[in-house]
């Protein structure tokens, strides 16, 4: 049988464009700061532009909050805490959270398009993952609000007060939900600072808070760059800082809140190891590797960016993996058939290019998807590095892009040693049909999250967080409440 | 395979299937959105892949005649509509179908081997096949002995397929795994390999006569098996999905699965089929909708 038939080209049924309409986003020209239940102008009247990373076109102009604005927001949150929210019963708080969850569902299509436009992620992911999960978090914590006595923290656990929350650009709405839902359920008021490049979905969420008639000041949203975040971290009347983002910024925040009364939780970077044993279910494992690193263009703190393959099956796994990588549909994020979207910003693209250049210079073998990339916007073709050694930068540093480093191991001990040989400790995956081995490995991995025969699966009932330079504190589940209670 | 123990060792060496992962993959591919010319191409392709089926105790020669005409000219008002791949019927009606279809490219497929249960003596099953072939069947849809398979007598299943294949002669053999009765995806993968090693030209999901018929994840596992079989042996085995596929939307989902699992070489009626009865009319209806921009009445198309 001829080679071309047995290696039948995949995806030869070319799909016509199936774009979701950008107008569903109903974007406004400019957005103010959401303080005390209203959109207000920043004191400096300064605005910045947020771009669509898929075509570099401006989407909207957004307010740059100064430290005076942050002060206003914190003041509003404090007043709301003292006068309203701390006097609101758990059952009442629960009603607001349920209402918010339902409104997110009602406006899910709009939110998905907003998220895809602002972030560059495929509409399939924002529609099927980000938005449903964000709603699920509000639903889940709505259930906890009137049951805090039974959360395992003793009777009548008290909120912390005003929480300052700084979130990243990779899952803008979902990270807002992860932060806000448990904080509100526990009885705190919030000042949320979305990422500079992806502020829009949080501002739509602010509209939802208005629709839900959440009391003014309970949630305030201040947009801006790093200086806005710094002002929030430094504000003396904030009781708690919750941050998700890079390890460098997390380290800086921890230094700044040291010797203050502020509680702190950090969810930082990662260099997740996806460990594949020879007896793994091969087809699902290949999909798991793909999901682990190419989901959300690899802009995932828990991405399975290091693939550790059992030596005996390494060639077979690599062959199948590369075939699958080549098949990924890269392009217009609004197209419903797109698998991999745009890199979120020029800065991030430059970082990915820099680190992959090191990969080649240090001697790893590079495979790049043959997909064509759009002319405008920030794009990076899915890339796999084979023959990677532990000492390579691409095996140690977080790339935060669609780049996979493949290493091999011979024994389970070696797999564990290599997986743990990292400053990070956020997530790992183990692929094997043998349960006893999976458990043996999982017990020895130093990471906050271990997935067995799956990867990048999230659920509001399950705690998520890291160890070592991946941070501390947990989000999700009963554990997620602890971060917002005085226990 | 020289012996049952060899076959068993081989089957044990096949990679397992993670059910959660397989179902998630199938569900993800089901979200693909086929629009415009892709949709038209896919609808026509699907029409050309239909094994137009009637497998009822009440079947009559008249009904089979009607079915054959329908298979040759799915939409008599539009010559650009491709003919269906085959008619699929019980053995006693093969002769009638053969007469009606004559030299048309529509094949006569006959179920055999004590369809649908497969519960008969081997010589009865072989006679069933022999008669169908003699009456003019181009394709034989046999069922595997699920009792033997589930109780671990894989050698028996294998030998039976080999024997049927021999009796088929030049007629194509489709082997029905009845995935709804195999209980696990691991079993679906193993049964697929047994059938392919024994000489199946097609592997087929279901008889359509049990509660669970074809599902996307089961079809996915079978497509992965034919892909891996082609890579190891160079032989391309077809896949037929049957049972419960009633509308165009479902059919297109299967085509997406084919497109993204095994690719171009299988996007032809020679290697992929739908066993269905009411599916054809919905494909025709959606085809007209794509062209005219509005739905026509269901009565626009003949019942059989």
Residue A320 has pLDDT above 70, yes or no: yes
What is the 8-class DSSP label of residue A236?
T
A235 close to A71: Cβ distance less than 8 angstroms: yes
Strand, coil or helix: what is A165? Answer: strand
- At A434 the pLDDT is 96
Measure in Å the smallest separation between the Cα of B231 and chain A Cα atoms: 6
* B82 inside domain: yes
Q: What is the mean pLDDT of residues A227-237?
A: 98
* Closest residue to B263, CB basis, from A9, A280, A336: A9
Nearest to A180 by CA among A234, A124, A231, A220: A220
| Residues 6+ away with beta carbon under 8 Å from A338 | A122, A123, A124, A329, A330, A331, A332
* pLDDT at B304 exceeding the cut of 80: no
d(C-alpha B65, C-alpha B94), whole Å = 11
Q: Is residue B209 part of a domain?
A: yes
Q: Is B35 a catalytic residue?
A: no
- On the question of pLDDT at A324 being above 90, the answer is yes
Chain A contact residues (CB < 8 Å to B)? 1, 5-18, 124, 128, 279-285, 287-288, 327, 336-337, 433, 453-454
Residue B1 has pLDDT above 90, yes or no: no
* Count of CB atoms situated within 10 Å of the CB of A223: 28
Q: CA–CA separation, B210 vs A33, rounded Å?
A: 61
Report yes or no: B3 at the A interface, CB cutoff 8 Å.
no
Q: Is the peptide bond before B116 cis (omega within 30 degrees of 0)?
A: yes
Q: Is A255 strand, coil or helix? A: helix
Q: Which of A11, A128, A453 sits opposite B259 (nearest CB)?
A: A11
Residue B224 in any domain: the answer is yes
Find the DSSP H helices in chain B: 4-13, 19-29, 36-48, 61-72, 94-101, 122-134, 146-150, 154-168, 185-197, 216-233, 248-261, 279-292
pLDDT of residue A458: 96
Helices (H), A312-460: 314-327, 346-361, 393-396, 412-420, 435-444
Residue B115 domain flag: no
Question: Based on the structure, what is the number of domains in chain B?
Answer: 1
B-chain CB neighbours of A433 within 8 Å are 16, 18
Q: Do A287 and B37 touch (CB under 8 A)?
A: no
The whole-chain average pLDDT of chain B stands at 96
Residue B204 is among the residues annotated as catalytic for this protein: yes
B35 contacts A15? CB cut-off 8 A: yes
Q: How confident is the model at residue B252 (pLDDT cuts 50, 70, 90)?
A: very high
Residues, chain A, total? Answer: 487
Q: In degrees rounded to 5, what are phi and psi of residue A449?
A: -125, 130
- Summarize pLDDT for A44-98 with one digit per residue, the tens: 899 999 999 999 999 999 999 999 999 999 999 999 999 999 999 999 999 999 9
**B249 is known as an active-site residue:** no
Residue B98: inside a domain:
yes
pLDDT score for A2: 44
Q: What is the pLDDT of residue B54?
A: 96
**Tokens representing residue A462 in the block:** 């399950």
**B184 touching A (Cβ < 8 Å):** no
Inter-chain residue contact B17 with A14, CB threshold 8 Å: no
Paired with A464 in beta bridges are A475
Residue A11 confidence (pLDDT): 66
**Stretch 220-259 of chain B: residues touching chain A, C-beta under 8 Å:** 221, 224, 227, 230-231, 234-236, 255-256, 259
**Regarding beta strands A33-35 and A38-40, do their DSSP bridges make them parallel or antiparallel, or are they unpaired?**
antiparallel
Site from B219, B261, B265, B266 to mutate, A interface, most A CB atoms within 10 angstroms: B265
For residue B88, which of B128, B120, B54 has the smallest C-alpha distance?
A: B54
User: What pTM value is reported for the model?
Assistant: 0.95
pLDDT value at residue A7? 57
pLDDT tier at A417 (50, 70, 90 boundaries)?
Answer: very high
For residue A12, give the nearest of B39, B235, B259 by CB distance: B259
Taking CA–CA distances from A291, the nearest residue in chain B reads B25
Q: Domain containing B42 — which CATH number?
A: 3.20.20.70
> Residue B164 domain-assigned?
no
Q: How confident is the model at residue A279 (pLDDT cuts 50, 70, 90)?
A: very high
- In this prediction, residue B300 carries a pLDDT of 86
pLDDT at A176 over 90: yes
Does residue B260 form part of some domain? yes
- Domain with B133, as residue range(s), is 4-14+33-107+122-151+171-291
Residue B165 lies in a domain: no
Tell me what pLDDT residue B97 has: 98
Percent of chain A whose predicted confidence (pLDDT) is above 70: 98
Single out the residue of A10, A337, A319 nearest to residue B261, CA to CA: A10
ipTM: 0.95
CB atoms within 10 A of CB A449: 26
Cβ neighbours around B31 below 10 Å, total: 13
Q: Are strands A427-431 and B86-89 parallel, antiparallel or unpaired?
A: unpaired
Determine whether the interchain pair A16/B38 forms a contact, defined as Cβ–Cβ distance below 8 Å.
Answer: yes
Residues of B (8-27) whose Cβ lies below 8 Å from A? 15-18, 20-22, 24-25
pLDDT higher than 90, residue A157: yes
A10 with B16: Cβ contact below 8 A = no
């Amino acid at each position: 049988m001829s080679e071309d038939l047995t290696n039948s080209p995949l995806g030869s049924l070319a799909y016509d464009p199936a774009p979701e309409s950008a107008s569903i986003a109903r974007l406004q020209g400019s957005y103010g700061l959401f303080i005390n239940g209203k959109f207000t102008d920043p004191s400096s009247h300064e605005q910045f532009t947020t771009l669509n990373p898929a075509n570099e076109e401006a989407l909207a102009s957004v307010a740059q909050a100064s430290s005076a604005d942050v002060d206003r927001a914190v003041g509003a949150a404090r007043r709301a805490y003292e006068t309203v929210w701390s006097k609101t019963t758990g059952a009442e708080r629960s009603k607001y959270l349920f209402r918010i969850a339902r409104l997110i569902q009602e406006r899910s299509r709009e939110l998905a398009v907003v998220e895809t436009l602002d972030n560059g992620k495929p509409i399939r992911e924002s529609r099927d993952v980000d938005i449903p999960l964000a709603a699920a978090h509000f639903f889940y914590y709505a259930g906890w609000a009137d049951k805090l006595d039974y959360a395992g923290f003793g009777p009548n656990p008290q909120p912390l007060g005003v929480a300052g929350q700084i979130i990243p650009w990779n899952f803008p709405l979902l990270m807002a939900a992860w932060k806000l839902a448990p904080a509100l359920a526990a009885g705190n008021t919030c000042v949320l600072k979305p990422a500079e490049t992806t502020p829009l979905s949080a501002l739509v969420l602010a509209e939802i808070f208005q629709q839900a008639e959440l009391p003014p000041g309970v949630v305030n949203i201040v947009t801006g760059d790093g200086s806005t975040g710094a002002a929030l971290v430094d504000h003396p009347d904030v009781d708690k800082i919750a941050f998700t983002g890079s390890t460098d910024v997390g380290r800086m925040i921890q230094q700044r809140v040291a010797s203050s009364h502020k509680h702190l939780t950090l969810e930082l970077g990662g260099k997740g190891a996806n460990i594949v044993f020879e007896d793994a279910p091969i087809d699902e494992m290949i999909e798991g590797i793909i999901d682990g690193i190419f989901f959300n263009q690899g802009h995932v703190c828990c991405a399975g960016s290091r693939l550790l393959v059992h030596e005996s099956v390494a060639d077979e796994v690599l062959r199948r993996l590369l075939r699958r990588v080549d098949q990924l549909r890269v392009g217009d994020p609004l197209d419903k058939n797109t698998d991999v979207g745009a890199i979120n910003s020029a800065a991030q693209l430059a970082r990915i290019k820099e680190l992959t250049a090191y990969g080649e210079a240090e001697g790893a073998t590079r495979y790049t998807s043959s997909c064509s990339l759009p002319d405008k916007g920030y794009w990076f073709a899915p890339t796999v590095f084979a023959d990677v050694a532990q000492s390579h930068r691409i095996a140690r540093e977080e790339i935060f892009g669609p780049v996979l480093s493949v290493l091999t191991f011979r024994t389970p001990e070696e797999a564990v040693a290599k997986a743990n040989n990292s400053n990070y400790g956020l997530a790992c995956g183990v692929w094997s049909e043998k349960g006893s081995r999976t458990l043996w490995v999982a017990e020895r991995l130093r990471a906050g999250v271990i997935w067995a025969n799956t990867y990048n699966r999230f659920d509001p009932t399950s705690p998520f967080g890291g160890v070592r330079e991946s941070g501390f504190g947990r989000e999700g589940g009963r554990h997620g409440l602890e971060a917002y209670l005085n226990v | 395979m020289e012996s049952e123990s060899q076959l068993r060792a081989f089957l044990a060496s096949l990679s397992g299937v993670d059910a959660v992962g397989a179902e998630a993959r199938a569900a993800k591919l089901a979200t693909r959105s086929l629009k415009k010319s892709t949709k038209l191409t896919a609808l026509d392709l699907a029409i050309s892949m239909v094994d137009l089926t009637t497998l009822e105790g009440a079947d009559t020669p008249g009904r089979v005649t009607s079915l054959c005409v329908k298979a040759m000219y799915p939409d008599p008002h539009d010559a650009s509509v491709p003919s269906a791949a085959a008619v699929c019927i019980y053995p006693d009606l093969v002769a009638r179908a053969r007469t009606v279809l004559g030299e048309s490219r529509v094949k006569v497929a006959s179920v055999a081997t004590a369809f649908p249960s497969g519960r008969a003596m081997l010589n009865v099953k072989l006679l069933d096949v022999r008669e169908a072939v003699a009456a003019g069947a181009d394709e034989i849809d046999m069922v595997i002995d699920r009792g033997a398979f589930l109780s671990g007598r894989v050698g028996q299943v294998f030998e039976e397929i080999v024997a049927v294949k021999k009796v088929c002669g030049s007629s194509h053999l489709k082997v029905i795994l009845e995935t709804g009765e195999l209980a696990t995806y691991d079993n679906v993968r193993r049964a697929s390999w047994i059938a392919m090693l024994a000489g199946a030209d097609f592997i087929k999901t279901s008889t359509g006569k049990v509660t669970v018929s074809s599902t996307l994840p089961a079809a996915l596992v079978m497509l992965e098996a034919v892909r891996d079989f082609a890579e190891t042996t160079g032989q391309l085995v077809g896949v037929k999905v049957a049972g419960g596929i009633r509308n165009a939307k479902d059919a297109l989902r299967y085509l997406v699965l084919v497109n993204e699992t095994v690719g171009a070489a299988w996007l032809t009626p020679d290697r992929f089929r739908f066993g269905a009865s009411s599916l054809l009319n919905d494909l025709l209806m959606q085809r007209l909708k794509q062209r005219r921009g509005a739905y026509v009445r269901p009565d626009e198309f003949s019942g059989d």
